[in-house]
């Protein structure tokens, strides 16, 4: 709880908060571009179906919009988090200089290595969501999407923050056992529409504090 409170305090500081607004502007532009592209593709596809069978077109339209709605709901936080990650190094450095000046600047995972790992994680979870989407008809799909959304959010967050101060191999060793409580609470807030735009940025501030406090504790032992 202390990390949550400290992270929330840091998230309201102007030198950090400006990066949230940068990320939201980028997100809005990307969302508009994706929406326009998908709308064009769906319109062409549904027009083709409608020329063959109007009932089939209606059913396909309903299914596609439902799938896109659910995917968008669960993926919006990871997508915003990836945009915020463009500025996370600056945010983490601000927090370190303000609260943990005794910690040295550290070399983390390589940039290309992090990008490739992030792409692999995102692609894998997105594919699993698509393949399991028919389970939504049985209801269990929503529960599965909840679990997959949490794991995706958690993995991307840990890779982003821990990767700034430690190599990828060390992150993989630590992540299975740490930060479950913190990432779980943060993820629950990502399920609230509107709030889910702010939570990924807040998560960066919160986990930065928790990770650096643990780093100090390890050094002092």
Q: Which domain holds residue 87?
A: 2-220
Q: d(Cα 178, Cα 214) in Å, to the nearest integer?
A: 11
Q: d(Cα 1, Cα 211) in Å, to the nearest integer?
A: 14
Q: d(Cα 80, Cα 64) in Å, to the nearest integer?
A: 23
pLDDT tens, residue by residue, 120-167: 888 898 888 888 878 877 778 788 989 999 999 999 999 888 888 777
Beta carbons of 161 and 204 less than 8 angstroms apart: yes
For residue 131, the Cα-to-chain-centroid distance in whole angstroms is: 20
Q: d(Cα 76, Cα 83) in Å, to the nearest integer?
A: 11
- The reported pTM is 0.84
Q: Which residues in the chain land under pLDDT 50? A: none
pLDDT tens, residue by residue, 4-15: 899 999 999 999
Quote the number of domains for the chain: 1
């Amino acid at each position: 709880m202390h990390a949550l409170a400290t992270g929330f305090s840091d998230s309201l500081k102007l030198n950090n908060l400006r990066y949230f607004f940068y990320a939201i502007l980028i997100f809005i532009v990307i969302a508009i571009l994706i929406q326009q592209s998908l709308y064009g593709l769906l319109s062409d596809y549904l027009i083709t179906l409608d020329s063959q069978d109007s009932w089939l077109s209606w059913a396909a339209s309903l299914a596609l919009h439902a799938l896109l709605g659910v995917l968008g709901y669960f993926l919006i936080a990871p997508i915003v988090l990836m945009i915020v990650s463009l500025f996370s190094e600056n945010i983490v450095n601000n927090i370190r200089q303000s609260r943990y000046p005794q910690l040295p600047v550290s070399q983390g995972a390589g940039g290309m290595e992090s990008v490739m790992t992030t792409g692999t994680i995102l692609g894998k979870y997105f594919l699993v969501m698509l393949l399991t989407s028919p389970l939504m008809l049985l209801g269990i799909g929503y529960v599965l999407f909840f679990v997959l959304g949490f794991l995706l959010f958690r993995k991307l967050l840990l890779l982003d923050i821990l990767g700034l101060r430690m190599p990828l191999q060390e992150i993989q060793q630590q992540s299975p056992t740490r930060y479950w409580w913190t990432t779980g609470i943060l993820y629950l807030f990502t399920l609230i529409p509107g709030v889910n735009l702010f939570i990924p940025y807040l998560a960066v501030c919160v986990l930065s504090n928790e990770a650096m406090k643990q780093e100090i504790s390890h050094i002092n032992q």
